[in-house]
C-alpha cells in the first residue's frame, strides 16, 4: 500500500519483519481473510457468546456495529488538526518546532506527517483500471503533501527518531509503535503495560496497531473494527487506504464485466470475507473487548492473539 497513508501499510507479522514505510495495517487482504478462524484460547478471560440463531439477529448486530462508529470519543487537538489539514508541509513545520522543544505528542504527529508524505512508494497504488473515485482519493493525498519533495522531507528527520523520543517521554501511542518496530512483542510486564496504556488512550491508531500485530485474520478484524469505533474513518466516504483498495478492485471487476458495488463501509468489507456465523463471532468479540476498554479494567485483556 501507499506510503502516503500513515497506518495502512504492512507490519508483516507473518514474516516477523516490519515495513519501514508504515506502522500498522487495518487488514482486508481478501486472500488471507477467506476462511479465517477466530482464535479462542482457554487462557482468555473473555468468552464469546453463542452465535445468533438467524439472519435477523446477525443484521441487528451489524446495524449496532455501524451505529457504534458514529459514537467516537473526543480526539486531541493535534489529531483533529492532522485529520483536517490540507497542507501537511506547513503543519510539519509547526510540529517540528514543538518537537524540537520536547513535546511528545507533537513528535508523534510529526512522525505521522513524515511517513504520510514520504513519496518513495506512492506508485504502488497505480492501476490501469483505476476508478475515478480512487484517483480522487490519491489526488487528495498528494495535495496534502504538495509542499514536500525528496529533498526537503529529509530536513524533518526520520520518523523513527521522533517516535523514539516521544516513547521515551511516555507517550502511549509512540511506545506502542516503537514496541512493534522493535520486533520484540513478548509477554512481559513492560510489554503488557505498553499495550494497556495504548488501549487506554482509546485512540484508533492503537487499535489499528493491535490489528496488525494480531496473529490471525479474524482477530485482526476485531481490532480493526474497534479502530472504526475509536475514530478511524470506516465510512463509505472514507479516504483511507482500505477504501482505495475497494474502489480500485471494484473498477477492475467492472472492467471484466462483473457486478460490483464499491459504495460500502468497512463493516461490510469485513462481513463479506467471513461466513455469517464467524462474522457474528467477530462482532461479539469486538463488543466484549469494547466493554472491557470502556470499563477501564484492562487486566481482563490477555492479548493471546498478539503476544508470543
Grid cell in block for residue 263 = 459504495
State the pLDDT at residue 245.
83
Grid cell in block for residue 248 = 480500485
Q: What is the CA radius of gyration of the chain?
A: 19
State the pLDDT at residue 127.
52
Across 21-60, b (16+ Cβ under 10 Å) vs e yields bbbbbbbbeeeebeebebeeeeebeeeeeeebeeeeebee
Q: How far is CA 260 from the centre of its chain?
A: 25
Q: Would the CA dihedral through 167, 171, 176, 177 be positive or negative?
A: negative
Cross-strand partners of 11: 18
What are 181-230's pLDDT values in tens digits? 887 678 888 999 999 999 999 999 999 999 999 989 999 999 999 999 99
Residue with cell 475514530: 231
Helix residue ranges per DSSP H, 26-158: 30-33, 55-68, 77-84, 88-100, 104-116, 132-144
Predicted TM-score (pTM) of this structure: 0.76
Residue 225: Cβ within 10 Å count? 27
Where the chain has pLDDT below 70, the residues are 1-73, 119-131, 184, 308
- 14 exposure class (CB count in 10 Å sphere: 0-12, 13-18, 19+): exposed
State the pLDDT at residue 102.
97
The CB-based long-range contact list for 91-97 (8 Å cut-off, 24+ gap) reads 92/117, 92/148, 92/156, 96/156, 96/157
State the pLDDT at residue 57.
56
Amino acid at each position: 500500500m501507499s506510503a502516503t497513508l500513515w497506518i495502512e501499510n504492512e507490519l508483516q507479522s507473518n514474516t516477523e519483519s516490519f515495513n519501514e514505510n508504515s506502522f500498522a495495517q487495518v487488514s482486508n487482504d481478501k486472500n488471507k481473510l477467506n476462511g479465517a478462524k477466530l482464535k479462542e484460547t482457554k487462557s482468555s478471560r473473555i468468552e464469546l457468546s453463542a452465535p445468533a440463531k438467524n439472519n435477523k439477529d446477525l443484521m441487528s448486530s451489524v446495524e449496532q456495529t455501524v451505529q457504534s462508529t458514529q459514537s467516537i470519543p473526543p480526539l486531541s487537538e493535534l489529531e483533529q488538526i492532522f485529520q483536517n489539514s490540507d497542507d501537511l508541509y506547513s503543519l510539519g513545520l509547526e510540529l517540528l518546532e514543538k518537537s524540537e522543544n520536547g513535546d511528545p505528542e507533537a513528535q508523534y504527529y510529526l512522525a505521522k506527517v513524515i511517513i504520510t508524505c514520504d513519496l518513495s512508494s506512492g506508485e504502488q497504488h497505480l492501476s490501469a483500471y483505476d476508478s475515478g473515485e480512487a484517483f480522487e482519493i490519491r489526488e487528495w493525498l498528494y495535495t496534502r503533501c504538495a509542499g514536500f519533495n525528496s529533498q526537503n522531507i529529509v530536513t524533518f528527520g526520520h520518523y523513527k527518531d521522533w517516535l523514539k523520543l516521544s516513547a521515551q517521554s511516555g507517550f502511549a501511542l509512540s511506545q506502542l509503535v516503537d514496541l512493534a518496530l522493535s520486533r520484540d512483542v513478548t509477554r512481559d510486564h513492560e510489554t503488557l503495560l505498553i499495550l494497556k496504556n495504548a488501549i487506554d488512550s482509546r485512540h484508533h491508531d492503537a487499535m489499528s496497531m493491535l490489528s496488525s500485530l494480531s496473529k490471525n485474520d479474524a482477530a485482526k478484524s476485531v481490532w480493526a473494527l474497534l479502530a472504526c469505533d475509536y475514530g478511524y474513518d470506516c465510512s463509505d466516504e472514507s479516504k483511507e487506504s482500505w477504501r482505495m483498495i475497494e474502489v480500485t478492485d471494484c473498477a477492475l471487476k467492472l472492467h471484466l464485466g462483473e457486478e460490483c458495488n464499491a459504495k460500502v463501509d468497512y463493516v461490510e468489507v469485513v462481513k463479506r470475507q467471513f461466513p455469517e456465523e464467524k462474522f457474528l463471532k467477530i462482532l461479539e468479540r469486538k463488543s466484549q473487548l469494547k466493554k472491557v476498554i470502556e470499563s477501564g479494567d484492562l487486566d481482563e485483556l490477555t492479548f493471546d492473539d498478539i503476544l508470543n
